[in-house]
């Protein structure tokens, strides 16, 4: 649509009439200024000149004001690019994740099932972020590269199976793989969330060394230790005893990894704590702002300015006929 940026400029439209009829201005112009074109305006031939090109007299001034008012053509709204995060999830699918010490709706489930539920909801909320997925056990695999297709990432997470990558746990390799992928992207708020229930028992790179590499690539790491602290199991002789199913969880290393990269370590002993952790991650790494729009604007002042100059020249030419 057409618009003018300074519409108040048109308040100056009657200015030539004020100058023409104000006695003092007219008298000062006649007695102090000697110029041929003013003599034409106020001299003896004024009545004759008014008959020639009368319809053009005010047009140059009107077009000049139109040019000064900055006419614009405003286009259709266009979306601005959303600045989100490159967020990689590294999920442990080693054999220990089959421990059923988590609850969903009162039903005991294994750790990976609980992670799928909570992490899936987290993925749904991360609108505007590029999400990637790494699954690791004895080896680390890139299951989904960084993408805006959150639905596909969530599907691939739900299809993950315990033991698919081996029974051991290669935390360092999962971080190293994330660092490798981070090098292929621009420095754009790169985040890695590592979720595990054990300690590093496999892989070619030590977790702390991998964390140093992550820090060099400005990759912030949040670590999550998952698993209950206490669980009641049946004993061999028919009784019950309490055990710590998370005895192998290396919390010290997970804290150190997070500290090296200026991230944080979290402990998820049940599904509720895991949900709270992912909600806190939303606060620590806010979602991208809602989509914004802008209207492309083209300046059109040169057209009325050119018209003003041409009509002024035409008016002067007609008066000299």
Domain CATH number, residue 199 = 3.40.50.410
pLDDT band (50, 70, 90) for residue 37: very low
Q: Residue 67 has what pLDDT?
A: 85
Same domain, 44 and 97: no
Same domain, 125 and 200: yes
Strand order across the beta sheet in which 2-4 lies: 2-4, 71-74, 297-299
- Judge whether residue 233 has pLDDT over 80: no
Is residue 31 one of the residues assigned to a domain? Answer: yes
Number of domains present in the structure of the chain: 2
Is residue 211 one of the residues assigned to a domain? Answer: yes
318 or 269: whose pLDDT is higher?
A: 269
Backbone φ and ψ of 239, nearest 5°: -85, -165
Question: What's the mean pLDDT in 37-45?
Answer: 47
Same domain, 15 and 91: no
pLDDT band (50, 70, 90) for residue 207: very high
Question: What's the mean pLDDT in 37-46?
Answer: 47
Same domain, 169 and 244: yes
Is residue 290 one of the residues assigned to a domain? Answer: no
Same domain, 15 and 45: yes
pLDDT in tens, 84-126: 788 999 999 998 898 888 888 888 889 899 999 999 999 998 8
Same domain, 67 and 136: no
Find the Cα–Cα–Cα–Cα dihedral 214, 220, 224, 225, rounded to 10°: 40
234 or 196: whose pLDDT is higher?
A: 196
- Judge whether residue 240 has pLDDT over 80: no
* Closest residue by Cα to residue 194 from 107, 253, 121, 125: 253
- State which of 136-140, 182-186, 225-229, 276-280 shows the largest mean pLDDT: 136-140
Instruction: Find the helix or strand (DSSP H, E) in which 15 lies.
Output: helix 15-21
Same domain, 276 and 209: yes
* Closest residue by Cα to residue 119 from 201, 208, 211, 222: 222
Q: Residue 41 has what pLDDT?
A: 44
Question: What's the mean pLDDT in 34-61?
Answer: 55
Same domain, 302 and 280: no
Is residue 236 one of the residues assigned to a domain? Answer: yes
Report how far apart, in Å, the C-alpha atoms of 194 and of each of 62, 114, 115, 172 are. Answer: 68, 15, 12, 10
Bridge partners for 234 per DSSP: 240
Is residue 289 one of the residues assigned to a domain? Answer: no
Same domain, 109 and 67: no
Share of the chain above pLDDT 90, in %: 32
Is residue 12 one of the residues assigned to a domain? Answer: yes
| Cβ contacts of 183 within 8 Å, gap of 6 or more | 217
Same domain, 299 and 274: no
Is residue 165 one of the residues assigned to a domain? Answer: yes
- Judge whether residue 256 has pLDDT over 80: yes
- Judge whether residue 180 has pLDDT over 60: yes
Same domain, 63 and 119: no
Q: Residue 194 has what pLDDT?
A: 94
Q: How many Å apart are CA 291 and CA 127, to the nearest integer?
A: 10
Instruction: Report long-range pairs for 144-153 (Cβ below 8 Å, ≥24 apart).
Output: 145/181, 146/86, 146/88, 146/181, 146/185, 150/123, 150/124, 150/126, 153/89, 153/123
Domain that holds residue 20: 2-76+295-319
Is residue 99 one of the residues assigned to a domain? Answer: yes
Q: Residue 33 has what pLDDT?
A: 46
* Mean pLDDT, rounded, of the chain: 81
Question: What's the mean pLDDT in 18-28?
Answer: 61
Same domain, 204 and 311: no
């Amino acid at each position: 649509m057409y618009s003018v940026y300074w519409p108040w400029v048109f308040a100056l439209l009657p200015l030539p009439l004020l100058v023409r009829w104000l006695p003092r201005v007219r008298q000062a112009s006649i007695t102090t200024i000697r110029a041929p074109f003013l003599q034409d305006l106020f001299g003896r031939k004024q009545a004759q000149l008014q008959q020639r090109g009368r319809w053009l007299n005010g047009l140059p001034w009107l077009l000049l004001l139109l040019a000064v008012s900055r006419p614009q053509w405003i286009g259709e709204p266009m979306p601005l690019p959303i600045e989100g995060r490159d967020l990689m999830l590294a999920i442990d699918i080693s054999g220990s994740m089959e421990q059923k010490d988590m609850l969903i709706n009162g039903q005991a489930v294994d750790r990976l099932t609980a992670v799928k539920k909570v992490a899936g909801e987290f993925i749904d909320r991360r609108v505007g972020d590029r999400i990637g997925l790494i699954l690791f056990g004895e080896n680390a695999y890139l299951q989904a590269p960084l993408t805006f297709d959150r639905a596909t990432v969530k599907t691939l997470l739900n299809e993950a199976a315990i033991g698919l990558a081996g029974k051991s746990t290669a935390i360092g390799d999962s971080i190293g793989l994330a660092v490798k992928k981070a090098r292929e992207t621009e420095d754009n708020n790169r985040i890695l969330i590592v979720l595990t229930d054990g300690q590093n028992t496999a892989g070619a790179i030590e977790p702390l060394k991998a964390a140093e590499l992550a820090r060099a690539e400005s990759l912030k790491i949040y670590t999550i230790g998952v698993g209950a602290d206490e669980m009641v199991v049946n004993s061999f002789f028919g009784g019950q005893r309490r055990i710590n199913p998370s005895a192998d969880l290396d919390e010290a290393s997970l804290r150190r990894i997070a500290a090296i990269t200026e991230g944080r370590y979290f402990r998820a002993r049940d599904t509720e704590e895991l949900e709270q952790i992912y909600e806190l991650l939303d606060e620590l790494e806010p979602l991208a702002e809602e989509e914004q729009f802008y209207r492309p604007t083209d300046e059109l002042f040169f057209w009325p300015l050119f018209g003003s100059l041409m009509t002024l020249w035409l008016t002067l030419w007609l008066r000299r006929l």
